[in-house]
Amino acid sequence: MTAHGRNRRRALVVGGSTGIGRGVADAWADVGLDVVVLSRSAPVGPGADRLRWVATDLTDAAQAAESLMLVAESSLHSVCYSAVHYGDRRALFKECSEAEWRRQVDVNLHGLWLTLSRTLPALRRGGTPGVFLGVSSEVVYNAGPGRSGYAASKAAAAALLDSISQEENTEAPGAEAVRVVQALPAGMVDTPGIRRRRPEGFDYSTYMRPASFAPLARELAATAGAGLHGAHLVVDGTGAWYPVSDKLPVSQSRRISSGTGS
Ligand SMILES: NC(=O)c1ccc[n+]([C@@H]2O[C@H](COP(=O)([O-])OP(=O)(O)OC[C@H]3O[C@@H](n4cnc5c(N)ncnc54)[C@H](OP(=O)(O)O)[C@@H]3O)[C@@H](O)[C@H]2O)c1
C-alpha cells in the first residue's frame, strides 16, 4: 500500500471486487474514503483505480488473517463484509459435498469472524466509533430448500453480528463502541456470483443492481451508523432502506427435485 491515502478516513471491503461489496466500495470511494478491497481477484472496470487491493483467499485462514492484520494496522472508519460462496448450484442436502460446506463456512462465516476479530480494534482507534456493515440475505429469515449450506452459514453470520452488536454499548458516555449494521437486498441482485448460476440468455431486468447499496453506504460513511446500530435493514432497488421487521423479503428459494438445481 502507498502513502497517498494518509489523513483520509480508511475503509475496508472484504469481498469488494464484484457485486454488492463493489457497490459499497465504489460508494465509499465516491465520498472520499481510502478504500481497501480484500478478494481473490483485483477490482476491474470504472473506478477500480481508486481502490487498493490486497489479494486474499478467505479459504486460506492464515493468509486472510495476515491480510487483515496488514489493513488493520491503522485506524479504520468503515468495514463491510460482503464475501460469499453461494455454492456451485442449488442442490438438495443429500447431494451436497462436505468440501462445498466447508467452503461456505470458510467464506460466509469464518472469514467474517476473522474480519471482526482483526478490525474491531482498528474501528475503535479513530477517536470516534466506526461502523461495521454485514451484507445479509433473506435466506437468514426464510431458510429454504436447495440452499442449506448457504442458509446455515448466513444465519450464523447474522447471529455473530447480532451478538457483537449487543456487546457494543454505543450509549455509554465516552464509549468507543463500534456500530454494527446488517443490510440485505429486497430482491435478487445482478452480480457475478449470481450470474455464474444462471443460464445464458437469462433475463435480469427485474434484478436489483449493486449500486442500490450506494445510498446506505454513503449514509454510513457520513454518520458512522448513528441511529442504525443493531439494525437489520432491507435495501430496495431505489436505494431506500427500511427495517426488516417492516416487511420481510419473500424467499428466493424454490422447491427443487434431485439434480435439477441451478
Ligand atoms: N446477489 C444477490 O441476489 C444477493 C441476494 C441476497 C444476499 N446477497 C448477499 O450479498 C453479498 C454479496 O453477494 P454478491 O451476489 O454481490 O456476490 P459476488 O458478486 O459473487 O461477490 C462476492 C465477493 O466475494 C469475494 N469472494 C468470494 N470467494 C472468496 C474467497 N474465497 N476469498 C476472498 N474473496 C472471495 C469475491 O471476490 P473474488 O471472486 O475476486 O475472490 C467477490 O468480491 C453476500 O453476502 C450475499 O449473501 C446477495
pLDDT at 249 exceeding the cut of 50? yes
Protein residues with CB under 6 Å of any ligand 1 atom: 15-21, 39-41, 56-59, 82-85, 107, 135, 137, 154, 184-185, 188-189, 191-194
C-alpha cell at 53: 487491493
Would the CA dihedral through 48, 52, 55, 61 be positive or negative? negative
Query: Residue 130 C-alpha to ligand 1 middle, in angstroms?
Result: 23
Least confident interval from 29-38, 89-98, 252-261:
252-261
Q: What is the pTM of this model?
A: 0.95
For ligand 1, pick from 58, 80, 84 the residue to mutate: most ligand atoms within 8 Å of CB. Answer: 84
What domains, with CATH codes, occur in the chain?
A: 10-243 (3.40.50.720)
Query: So what's the pLDDT on residue 173?
Result: 60
For ligand 1, pick from 66, 82, 232 the residue to mutate: most ligand atoms within 8 Å of CB. Answer: 82
Query: Residue 178 C-alpha to ligand 1 middle, in angstroms?
Result: 24
Query: Residue 21 C-alpha to ligand 1 middle, in angstroms?
Result: 7
Average pLDDT, rounded, for the chain: 92
Give the closest residue to 198 by CA, choosing from 119, 89, 65. 89
